[in-house]
Structure 1
Amino acid sequence: MFVIHVLQKETPLANAVFWAARRGNLALLQLLLNSGRVDADCKDSYGTTALMVASYSGHYDCTRELILQGADINLQRETGSTALFFASQQGHNDIVKLLFEFGASTEFRTKNGGTALSAACQYGHSKVVETLLKNGANVHDQLNDGATPLFLAAQEGHVAVIRQLLSSGAKVNHPREDGTAPLWMAAQMGHGEVVKVLLLRGAERDADRKDGSTALFKAAYKGHNDVLEELLRFSPSLGLLKNGSTALHAAVMGGNVHSVVLLLQANADPTLPNKNNELPADITKNERILRVLRPRMLNRES
C-alpha cells in the first residue's frame, strides 16, 4: 500500500498539495500551485512527490496539472520508484500515456531492480504493458534476483501479459538466479493455462532448479492436477531427478491420490527407488494411495 509520510518541511501548504493530489481535488491543487508559495516538486521524507501520489491514485487531471506546473516527471522516490512506476503498477494506462507525452523514461529502477514494465506485468495490466513496450520498455528487464517480466507474469498467472511478452521477444526459459524458470514457478502456483502457453512456446519441460526439482515434481507435490495433465502431454521425465527423487515420490509425499493416479497412468514406475533406496510406497501410510500403488507394483514385478 502506498503511504504518504510526514513532509520534510511539514508546511501546511505542502501537506495540502499532497492531500489534493491524493483525493483528485484539481481546484484546490491549482489554487495552491498558483499561489507561488509551494513548489510542484515538494517531497515527503521518503522522496515521494505529489506527482507520484496523483499518478498512483489515478487522477489524470491532477497529474497533468502538476506536470504543467513544472513537476519533474522522472524524480525517484527513496525506493527508486517514479511516477511512471506507480501508474504502471496500478494499471492507470491513461496516466502512463500522459507521462510518456511529457518525457517519462522506462529506464529507472527501484532498489530491487524493478521497472515500470515489471510492475505492470506482476499485476497483470495488459494495456499498460502494451503502452510501455511501444515506448521502449525492455522486455528483458530483470530484478536483482534475475526475475524477468515474464517470470513475474507467470508467477501471478497473467496469461494475456505472458502472450504479449512472448510476442515481443521475451525468453521463455530465462531463469531466476536460483535456477527457477517461468514454467517451474507457474507449475508451483497451479496456473494450468500459463503452463500450457509456456510449453507451446518452447518452455523446457524438464528444466530444474538448483535444488534439482522440475515443474512436474513441484506440481505433483502440490497436487496441481490440471498442471500435471498439461505437463504430461509433453512427455516429461518420470525417472530419477537430480534431487534424487521422482515425481511419483513427490505426489505420494504431497498426499494427493489423483496426482498419483495421473502419474501412474503416464507410466511412472512405482518400483523405482529414490536416493535413499525408498519406493514411493515406503514413504506414506495413506491407505488410499497404497491401494493405488500396490497393484502397479505387482504388475511391474510380475
Structure 2
Amino acid sequence: MSTRKGNLALLQLLLNSGRVDADCRDSFGTTALMVASYSGHYDCARELIMQGTDINLQRETGSTALFFASQQGHNEVVKLLFEFGGSTEFQTKDGGTALSAACQYGHSKVVDTLLKNGANVHDQLHDGATPLFLASQEGHVTVIRQLLSSGAKVNHPREDGTAPLWMAAQMGHSEVVKVLLLRGADRDADRKDGSTALFKAAFKGHNAVIEELLKFSPSLGLLKNGSTALHAAVMGDNHKSVNLLLGANADPTLPNKDNELPADLTKSNRILRALRPHILNGSS
C-alpha cells in the first residue's frame, strides 16, 4: 500500500522494521518495486533498490518492474532501473517486452531510453507483432520514426501476414501511412486473405489514408475473390471513398470472381449515381 500511494516514510518504516522483505510478493508475484514502478514513484523505487530488492524479478505474467515503468511512461524510473541493472531481455507470457509496451502506448522518451540501453528493435510478440507494428496500430508517429531510424524493418508482418502499413491503414492513421510509405513500406503487400492497405482503407472509409496511398499509385487492392478497393468502398457505403477511387481511374466495370460489379453491391442511390457515368463511359 505504501508503494502504491508513494508514501516513502511509511515504506522506510516497514523495511527498516525487519518485518517486511523488500522482495515480498502478492499472490500474483507482484513485488513492491513493480508497484512503485507502475505508479511512477521514483523515491519509493529507489528506496527498495537500496534495500536490496531484485530489480529483474518477474510477475506471474512475466512482467518486470522495467516493463511496468515503460508501459506507463515513467522515464525517470526507467533510467533508475537501468542504473542498477535492469534488463530489457525479459518477456511476458505473450512475448511482450519493455520496448513493445512503450511503443504500444507511445512513450517516445521511454523508447529512446530503452533503445540506448540495448532494447532490441526487432522484438516480437508470439503472434509476430513487432514494436513498429504496435506503434503503427496505435498511430504513434514519433515512436515509428525512432524505430525506423534504429533499424526496424518497415515491412515485417505479423504471423497472419498483416504488415504495419496494412494495420495503420485499417485504423485510419494517415500520417503513419505517409511515414511508412516514405520509408519504403510495400504499398501492395497483402494479408493471407489477399487484401491490401488500400482495400481496407476503402472499406473503412479512411479517405485521408486513401489519398496517401493513391500518391504512391497502389494496386486495386484485390482480394482472392477478385474484389477491388472500389468494391470495398461500395460495400462500406463510403461515398467519398468511391469518388476518390473513381478519380484515380478505378474501373467500375471490373467484376469480381462472382461476376459482381461494384454497383451490384449497393442500394445507395448516391453511390449508384457516382458509379453510373463511369460505367456508361466504360461501355461506350
TM superposition outliers: structure 1 runs of 4+ over 4 Å: none
Is 2:250 the partner of 1:276? no
Q: Is residue 104 of structure 2 the alignment partner of residue 122 of structure 1?
A: yes
Match of 2:128 in 1: 146
- Partner Cα separation in structure 2 for residue 298 and residue 239 of structure 1: 23
Alignment counterpart, residue 297 of structure 1, candidates 275, 279, 282: 279
Which runs of 5 or more structure 1 residues have no equivalent in the other structure? Answer: 1-18
2:203 aligned residue: 221
Q: CA deviation at 1:58?
A: 0.4
Task: Give the Cα separation in 1 of the matches to 2:118 and 2:196.
Answer: 34
Alignment TM-score, normalising by the size of structure 1 = 0.93
Deviations 1:38-71 (A, max 9, x none): 1000000000000000000000000000000011
Q: Determine which of 71, 83, 89 is the counterpart of 1:107.
A: 89
Paired amino acid for 1:179: G
Q: How does 1:83-232 map to 2 (within 5 A)?
A: 83-232=65-214
Deviation of the 1:275 alpha carbon: 1.1
Q: Is the 1:213–1:243 Cα contact (8 Å) retained in structure 2?
A: no
CA distance in 2, matches of 1:62, 1:93: 15
Q: In structure 1, how many angstroms separate the alpha carbons of the residues matched to 2:127 and 2:73?
A: 24
> Offset at 1:244?
2.2
Contact 2:55–2:81 (8 Å) recurs in 1: yes
Output the aligned Cα RMSD. 0.7
Matched length:
284
1:63 aligns with 2:45: yes
SS in 2 for 1:39: coil
**Contact 1:106/1:115, CA 8 A, preserved across alignment:** yes
The whole-number CA distance in structure 2 between the counterparts of 1:43 and 1:253 is 53
More displaced stretch, 264-273 vs 243-252 = 243-252
Structure 2 residues without counterparts, runs of 5 or longer: none
Cα contact 1:211–1:243 (8 A) shared by 2: no
User: Do 1:146 and 1:175's aligned partners in 2 also have CA atoms closer than 8 Å?
Assistant: yes
User: Which whole-Å CA distance do the structure 2 matches of 1:240 and 1:81 have between them?
Assistant: 41
For residues 235-274 of structure 1, what are the structure 2 equivalents within 5 Å? 235-238=217-220, 240-274=222-256
Q: Is the 8 A contact 2:199 2:222 kept in 1?
A: no
Percent identity between the two aligned chains: 87
SS in structure 1 at match of 2:112 = helix
Displacement of 1:243:
4.2
Q: How far apart are 1:37 and its partner, in Å?
A: 1.2
